[in-house]
Amino acid sequence: MVYDAAVDAAFRGSCYIPFLQEELYVNITNGYLPGRICTEVAPNITCCLPCPLTDWLYSDSFYTVTNASSWLNVVGLVCTVFLLVSFAILPVEKTHRHYLSICLVIAILIMQLGFVIPLGAKPAQCANSITPHGMESSITCALSGAFLLAGGWCGIMWVFMRALALHLQICWQVVIGRAFMWGALAGGWGVPAIALTIAMVFSGVSFRFGETCYINYRNSLADFWIPLLTFSGLTVIIQFTTFGYCIKVYWVSLSDSCNTTNSSALPSYLNDVVSLTPRQAYRRIQRIVELQWRGIAVVIIIIVDVMFFAVVSTMHNNQIKAADVSMVTGEPAKLGEPLDPSVDWLLCLVTNKGDKDPCLDKSAKLIMNQAIITAVLVLLSCNGIWLLLLMSRVSMFTGWYYLAKPEAKPSVEFISADSARAYSKDPRTYEMLASNGRDVDNPLRPDLSVTTLTPAVISLTGRSGRQMPDYFSCEAKYQSPTHSFSSLRPPPGGRDWNAAATHAPSAHRGHVDRLSINKC
């Protein structure tokens, strides 16, 4: 890129190309004034680099990368919206939705809006030739920056809640109930709201690189990055502690040779969880991991992305801040000493009359590598796609198919073969009897006979037709409960029992009509 010297010639003043004199902008105060990159070259002469800064620090391909990552966020936004609509419309047996999953998808959706809004609004990055826009001068900047910061905080908090819930279930056998749900909702949304308010008040956002506004480096380390990295670190510690516990249980279960562990994998009562043998504990953990492996993978991916973004942004802020300070306070190097990197870069721009291409190798010493920033933007943009791949199920897509075409839905209800004669007055149609007195075969199970006796049974009983099953001829056997240590014992003392004295009915009775027992 070669700077057009005729664009701001009226504001150049005493500065060399491509710099502009700040004193000529004294009456122009809109935009984010601390975002100017200026250096004092003489008393009352301060020269500033034209806005935006990324035009001078990075190659022209940088905007191609940022636009590609924004369009990738559009694809991720479609994925997250599809998940949320599926959670809202489809039944729970199709989506297996849970409030931890729903809130995490909403958090990623908020972060994606920070990249998608500038893509549609096409905002101007600069308020004037030397001043970038901030949240006070650009609504688009305020919205995109707020959504980006809030999405990052919400994503960290909800992966923290998922990691904590998994840790409590596996390591402490805690049943996640309503109390944890309300606590998670309060922390998952309350903490990001407070953190966003503090960050916007004490730091603010402005156009730093690209068309998305990022947090300013002023006070950002204390009010945003350190708290965010603290919760990220806690999530990593909890997650790896859970993994360590699982490995320990698996290792102990290999040496467990007790035969009793081959029975039930879970105790009958919740209070007996502490009495689990190593092999039973391993099978219980194996079931939990099999059910929640999707959530575990999502936690790992998002926590890596956000921590990578936080570390890179912090290092980038420190480098820009150091370069800004050195440009303001830098002095010409003494004979034989190397020039400061920022001064060397500025002199290169002056020597080449605003042509940045020969100076890109010198500006690379002042900023984060473009490849690393590209990797951060791409990873953040793929979060929505990862959510769709890990949280979607085949049943979710079949649920949408059956919702669009109800006639294609397979019937799971039992339908009688002679349902057409349901209102017939012929008593022979009762209980699936055909007109010839025989039973109608079940169309779903033709091998089963519903009411008639087979010829083999007729030959054994010597009777034909419909017979009443004898429910009273067999004697029930007493079966001791599994956890009971009692058994039937005779009355103590061996005393005889007099039925007449107790007014009990006699044991010698005549014929008893068993069918009359069921009469009301």
* Averaged pLDDT score across all residues of the chain: 76
Tell me, what's the pLDDT at 99? Answer: 95
21: phi then psi, degrees, rounded to nearest 5: -80, 125
Left (φ > 0), alpha (ψ -120 to 50) or beta: where does 122 sit? left
Q: What is the DSSP letter of 356?
A: -
CB neighbours of residue 153 within 10 Å = 27
pLDDT in tens, 184-204: 999 999 999 999 999 999 999
What is the band of 362 on the pLDDT scale with cuts at 50, 70, 90? confident
pLDDT for 314 equals 81
Tell whether the model's pLDDT for residue 337 goes beyond 80: no
Q: Which residue has the tokens 């942004």?
A: 313
Mean pLDDT of 219-247: 91
> What pLDDT score does 459 carry?
43
Please state the pTM of the whole predicted model. 0.72
What pLDDT, on a 0 to 100 scale, did the predictor assign at position 342? 78
- Per-residue pLDDT tens over the stretch 32-85: 998 888 888 888 888 888 988 888 888 888 888 888 888 999 999 999 999 999
pLDDT the model gives residue 218: 85
Q: Give residue 254's pLDDT band: very low, low, confident or very high (50, 70, 90).
A: confident
How big, in percent rounded to 5, are the helix, strand and coil portions of the chain? Answer: 60, 5, 40
Amino acid at 285: I
The Cα 313–Cα 62 span in angstroms is: 16
Distance CA 191, CA 186 (A): 8
What is the average per-residue pLDDT within 512-519? 47
What confidence tens digit (pLDDT) does each residue in 274-318 have? 456 777 877 888 888 787 888 889 889 999 988 888 888 888 777
Q: Is the dihedral of CA 330, 332, 337, 340 positive or negative?
A: positive
Residue at 280: amino acid letter: Q
pLDDT at 271: 42
Does 507 have pLDDT greater than 80? Answer: no
Q: What percent of the chain has pLDDT over 90?
A: 31
User: 103 is written with which tokens?
Assistant: 């809130």
Reported as a single tens digit per residue, the pLDDT across 380-392 is 899 999 999 999 9
For residue 34, the model assigns a pLDDT of 87
Which phi and psi angles does 439 have, rounded to 5°?
Answer: -85, 145
Per-residue pLDDT for 506 more than 70? no
What pLDDT is recorded for position 479?
58
Question: What is the rounded distance in angstroms from the CA atom of residue 186 to the CA atom of residue 181?
Answer: 9
Domains of the chain: 60-332+354-404 (1.20.1070.10), 411-471 (no CATH)
Query: For residue 479, with 0-12 CB atoms within 10 Å meaning exposed, 13-18 middle and 19 or more buried, which class applies?
Result: exposed
Confidence at residue 460, expressed as pLDDT on a 0 to 100 scale: 42
pLDDT at 3: 44
| 485-494 mean pLDDT | 56
